[in-house]
Chain A
Amino acid sequence: MGRGIAGIRLEQVWKIYDNGYVAVADVTFEAAEGEFLVLLGPSGCGKTTLLRLVAGLETVSRGTIRIGDQVVNDVPPRDRDIAMVFQNYALYPHMTVYENMAFGLKLRRVPKAEIDRRVRAAARVLELEHLLDRRPHQLSGGQRQRVAVGRAIVREPRVFLFDEPLSNLDARLRVEMRAELARLHRELGRTMLYVTHDQVEAMTLGQRIVVLNQGRVQQIGTPLDVYHRPANRFVAGFIGNPPMNFIDGRLERLNGLRFVGEGGHVQVPLAEAEWPNIQPGQRVTLGVRPEAVIPTTPERATVQGPVETVEVLGAVAHLYVRVGQTTVVAQVDAAQCPAPEQTAYLHFDSTRIHLFDAETGQALLRLA
């Protein structure tokens, strides 16, 4: 306690449950001291398992976990100097808000006056002062969530672990608490490991994001990194809303190298110099985000087809256009979007297209 900040390092960590299920496979990453690192992935990909491994609530099957300089594989949770906020808050139902927050400190024999000071300070920050005598069942979801955060803060741990702490809140409260957590991180300056399946949370809170799928790390990078330079098709498809358009096809040489997909309905010329690792005949998947699909004139169109649906979201609209057997989504200016049934002419911004190997799903290297 009070030993300040510490980073976390996982090296080739595996978790194989008793029933043989491999929940975490060969995971290596590091959260620097004071960093806000987000673990992002779909449901069941092993995020909670990873967090519980760091907390010491599960034992690693292989690999090492370090907090600070210390290998903590065999250190029990209470000696790891961490605090965790659980998805369902896990407040002690038979204790008041005050007692919930003070419990961990009492066990650590912190003097009464100091406990009182810390609990009241945390309550002030989280606007819980008037609720200190209530029990958890007398609180709203948002208040419970804040108590759970308060219980973590008063401990002043070296590392904070959050397991989807906002997933049980309504949309408005979630935005509020997101800002709150970002502010807490700035003020406390502690290392935070934050698990979520919500990419908006990941993008807005994370200094870096670890994208996980089926227990494996897919990519580690800043939010903009993973958004603009996804390492593989999974990351590209998981991050972004509406998701990236994918079109299967192959590379052909006709008037220069081009991507031909969807039975010839989609043809995209490629600047050969930018793509060092591609060859004609190669089977690839082309990816392009909706905002890189731009309405244009019939002459300049990369693809065209009838508009299926239009979703107007205020300033922008999502245009679903039928191209061959598939649907391409474009994000367009709501003021000038075509009506359903009309033919839309769309252009793929060639500086913002991605190519993925059709077999491995790995992104193909692009220069510049």
Chain B
Amino acid sequence: MRRLLLYLILGIGLVVFAYPFVWMGIATFTPEAEIPELTLLPSRWTLDHYRLVFERLPVWRGLLNSLVVALAVTASVLVFTSMAAYALAKLHWRGRETVFSIILFTMMVPFLLLLIPLYTLVVRLGWTDSLLGLIVPFMMNATGVLILRQSFLTIPRDLIDAARIDGCGELRILFTIVWPLSVPALVTVGLLTFIGSWNEVLWPIIVVREVQWMTLPQLVALFAVGGGAEGQLGPQLAAAFLLALPIVLAYLFFQRYFIQSFATGGLKG
């Protein structure tokens, strides 16, 4: 009886959270006229919306741009933040605490504040209308440093010293000893970074004007507000659905680590 109640409550919760997403997925295959009815069972299935999206938007090119940007950003964030986190957690040097405070401080600076100086910089470097302009400003971030430092702190000092005696330099220690022991935290940082980069719309809109360098979210956003969809809901939803798909897939694939990392205090402190 108790059990039943529990399942009922969980079931309601599931419906509340899942319904919008499920509806959206189904709506992309529903004829335009039926969409406002919020139905989950359309009278017939259609691919028209997707056809329109693929006709009007360079979806594949946008997908490729987005992937390149997100992967490059994620890879470099993993490398650079773990280097910083290692230095902060495991090496002793003058000014370490100060540097850490400064890094923490940068977390409090809103991105909007950085927008104009960053833009000026990118223009000066001639990186507008290029993927470089989308990648370089995000190659490092404070949150990643914080999460990884916290995880690295749990690695015993003797383990690292043993590797030093065995013949490792610091970089090799980081990548052959520390990394394999910090997989959940690395996955967390990787996913957060990837998702953040994937979803970024504002910055690409500012830096990129040529369609060939636009990312998928940028294309979708411009499509939805820019009238490319001719006010139709179906194509807009279809474009948004395409956008969300890779993220959902990535999450499903990595969620085991993701949850583990949060559960084992990857974000503590």
Residues of A within 8 A of B (CB): 18, 52, 55-57, 76-78, 82-84, 86-88, 90-94, 103-104, 107-108, 151, 155
Contact = CB atoms under 8 A, between A and B. Distances in A.
B34 interface: no
Contacts of B83: none
Interface in B116-166: 156, 158-159, 161-166
Given A93-B181, A94-B181, A108 B167 contact: yes
Given A93-B159, A94-B181, A151-B162, 19 more contacts: A52-B161, A55-B161, A76-B164, A77-B164, A77-B165, A78-B166, A82-B165, A84-B161, A86-B161, A86-B162, A90-B156, A90-B158, A90-B162, A92-B163, A92-B177, A93-B181, A104-B165, A107-B172, A151-B166
Given A92-B177, A94-B180, A107 B158 contact: no
A93 B180 CA distance: 9
Contacts of A76: 164
Contacts of B92: 18
A91 B177 CA distance: 11
Contacts of A56: 164
B67 interface: no
A263 B151 CA distance: 62
Contact of A78 (B167, B177, B180, B181): B167
Contacts of B180: 94
Contact of A107 (B156, B161, B162, B166): B166
B221 interface: no
B240 interface: no
Contact of B161 (A90, A94, A103): A90
B168 interface: yes
Contacts of A82: 165
Contacts of B172: 107
Interface string B161-193: 111111111001000010011000000000000
A88 B167 CA distance: 20
Given A18-B92, A90-B156, A90-B159, A107 B165 contact: no
Interface of B: 92, 156, 158-159, 161-169, 172, 177, 180-181
Contacts of A151: 162, 166
Q: Give the residue among B156, B158, B165 with the most A Cβ atoms within 10 A.
A: B165
Contacts of A83: 165
Nearest to A109: B167
A84 B162 contact: yes
A210 to B, nearest CB: 22
A91 B156 CA distance: 10
A43 B143 CA distance: 40
What's the dominant secondary structure at chain A's contact region? loop
Q: Which A-B residue pairs are the 7 nearest by beta carbons? A: A104-B166, A107-B167, A90-B158, A90-B162, A78-B167, A94-B180, A86-B158
A88 B157 CA distance: 11
A274 B58 CA distance: 104
Contacts of A107: 166-168, 172
Contacts of B162: 84, 86, 90-92, 151
Nearest to B161: A57
B156 A103 contact: no
A353 to B, nearest CB: 44
A36 B167 CA distance: 25
A49 to B, nearest CB: 13
A55 B181 contact: no
A351 B156 CA distance: 51
A57 B173 CA distance: 14
B159 A55 contact: no
B176 to A, nearest CB: 8
Given A90-B159, A92-B177, A84 B165 contact: yes
A208 B28 CA distance: 83
A78 B165 contact: yes
A180 B124 CA distance: 69
B93 to A, nearest CB: 11
Contacts of A92: 159, 162-163, 177
A56 B161 CA distance: 10
| Residue of B92, B156, B161, B177 with highest tally of chain A CB at under 10 A | B161
Given A90-B156, A93-B181, A94-B180, A78 B161 contact: no
A191 to B, nearest CB: 16
A88 B156 CA distance: 10
A114 to B, nearest CB: 16
Given A93-B181, A94-B181, A57 B156 contact: no
